[in-house]
A = this chain, B = another copy of it.
Amino acid sequence: MTTQQASDVARIPVPRLPAGLETPCLVVDLDIVERNARRLQEELNRRGVSLRPHVKTHKSVALARVQLDAGAAGLTVGTLGEAEVMAEAGLDDLFLAYPVWAEGPRAARLRALHEKVGLRVGVDSVAGAERLAAATAGSGGPLRVLVEVDPGLHRTGVAGPQEAVEVATAAMRVGLDVRGVFSHGGHSYAAPHLGATAGAEEARALGAAADAIRDAGIGVDVVSAGSTPTALGAAIGPVNEIRAGTYLLGDYQQVVLGAIPPDGIALHVAATIVSTAVPGQVVLDTGAKTLTKDRAPYVEGYGHIPAYPEAILDRVNDYHGMVRIPAGTPAPRLGEIVAVAPNHVCPVVDLFDTFVAARGGEVLGRWPVDARGRSG
């Protein structure tokens, strides 16, 4: 860990947990959520760039409304299921940033969604465009699509401007409404402080693809870049929309990456110490089924315990989290409840039906994770 990372981690505040929690459970501090929503929104407003947050992080209608109330232009979703949940709640400006393969039952669901809300969908192949057109033909007007561009992550998205023109042209030909380009700068997760560089690369790749599509005579009004680490690095030049997700709830990894400030972690897993039988160790009632095994190489352990910053959560089984207590450092007592900041918040939220919504240690209620488990 660099000096900067160590300093950021040392400044992670100890969260105020409400009394009487039944562990393991998620606790979300709404004061921090609202501050995170405002912080990114205000910076993007200043730059004249739209924010279209990704709901896959929180999967909550109530938290999506916090983002819209703060000024978000619409929502991003990763699956048809997430889109259906948001649409059902009346949130009707949705970008499904995924190369949906519209065949079988999925084609019928896509068509129904397109008839109900303002929808855009991602596409990165000619065959995918043909399926999207066939699934939505004669219903609700031409489906709006954005061509996905690979900004260097090598996950999905066309390789360059020429391939972008090919997919855009084919999409137009089969009757889709091509509106622009998008990308996900996920390679920024590879190491701390890559965000600015990776974001600039992303903006460049998008700009080149957008220019080529315009040169081919197809209008481009959306140039959309993604990810929390690249959010500010990519909000430059041709980019006019940012899709970030994790910024709202925060997690330990984002602090180590330098993508959010140390006081930006709004969600913790509350856990009870259930065993101290092994010397130098305490065991939590939270493990792989509540914290996941997500662990980037630059973070130590499977989560961070702000009240015991020297403690290392270095093993997890399904319902056990084994925390090593280095010699001479304080340890929680048997039965004590501690807050754990997950490494990566998105898959953790998806493991719970509800979260405890709190403000400064007071419980407001148990709120649903509305799109929990909607992975398709």
Residues on A lying within 8 angstroms of B by beta carbon are 20, 22-25, 56, 78-79, 98-101, 103-106, 124-125, 127-128, 131, 148, 150, 154-159, 163, 186, 272-279, 281, 283, 285-286, 288-290, 292-295, 315, 317-320, 322, 334-335, 346-347, 350-353, 372-373, 375-376
Residues of B within 8 A of A158 (CB): 277
Residues of B within 8 A of A124 (CB): 275, 277
Residues of B within 8 A of A288 (CB): 292, 294, 347
How far is it, in angstroms, between the C-alpha of A335 and the C-alpha of B125 when the chains are bound?
Answer: 11
Report 11 cross-chain contacts, Cβ distance below 8 Å, ordered by A residue. A56-B319, A99-B277, A103-B272, A128-B274, A155-B278, A156-B275, A157-B275, A157-B277, A292-B292, A292-B347, A372-B373
A318 lies within 8 A of B78 (CB): yes
How far is it, in angstroms, between the C-alpha of A156 and the C-alpha of B278 when the chains are bound?
Answer: 7
Q: Which of B128, B150, B335, B352 is in CB contact (< 8 Å) with A334?
A: B128
Residues of B within 8 A of A295 (CB): 293
A322 lies within 8 A of B155 (CB): yes
Minimal Cβ-Cβ distance residue in B for A24: B376
How far is it, in angstroms, between the C-alpha of A327 and the C-alpha of B320 when the chains are bound?
Answer: 41
Q: Which of B22, B159, B289 is in CB contact (< 8 Å) with A104?
A: B22
Residues of B within 8 A of A353 (CB): 373
Residues of B within 8 A of A347 (CB): 288-289, 292-293, 318
A274 lies within 8 A of B127 (CB): no
Known: A20-B104, A156-B283. 13 other contacts (CB 8 A): A20-B105, A101-B274, A101-B285, A101-B334, A155-B275, A155-B315, A155-B317, A157-B278, A186-B317, A290-B375, A319-B375, A351-B373, A372-B373
- Given A79-B319, A98-B319, A127-B335: A105 and B373 within 8 A (CB)? no
Q: What is the distance, in angstroms, from A252's C-beta to the closest C-beta of chain B?
A: 15
B154 lies within 8 A of A278 (CB): yes
Minimal Cβ-Cβ distance residue in B for A105: B22
How far is it, in angstroms, between the C-alpha of A271 and the C-alpha of B23 when the chains are bound?
Answer: 33
Q: What is the distance, in angstroms, from A142's C-beta to the closest C-beta of chain B?
A: 22
How far is it, in angstroms, between the C-alpha of A155 and the C-alpha of B316 when the chains are bound?
Answer: 9
Interface of A is mostly: loop
Minimal Cβ-Cβ distance residue in B for A295: B293
Copy number in this complex? 2
A78 lies within 8 A of B319 (CB): yes
Residues of B within 8 A of A315 (CB): 155
A274 lies within 8 A of B318 (CB): no
Q: Which of B56, B275, B289 is in CB contact (< 8 Å) with A375?
A: B289
B373 lies within 8 A of A352 (CB): yes
Minimal Cβ-Cβ distance residue in B for A100: B274
How far is it, in angstroms, between the C-alpha of A131 and the C-alpha of B335 when the chains are bound?
Answer: 10
Minimal Cβ-Cβ distance residue in B for A20: B104
Q: What is the distance, in angstroms, from A106's C-beta to the closest C-beta of chain B?
A: 6
How far is it, in angstroms, between the C-alpha of A267 and the C-alpha of B146 when the chains are bound?
Answer: 36
- Given A155-B317, A319-B78: A276 and B125 within 8 A (CB)? yes
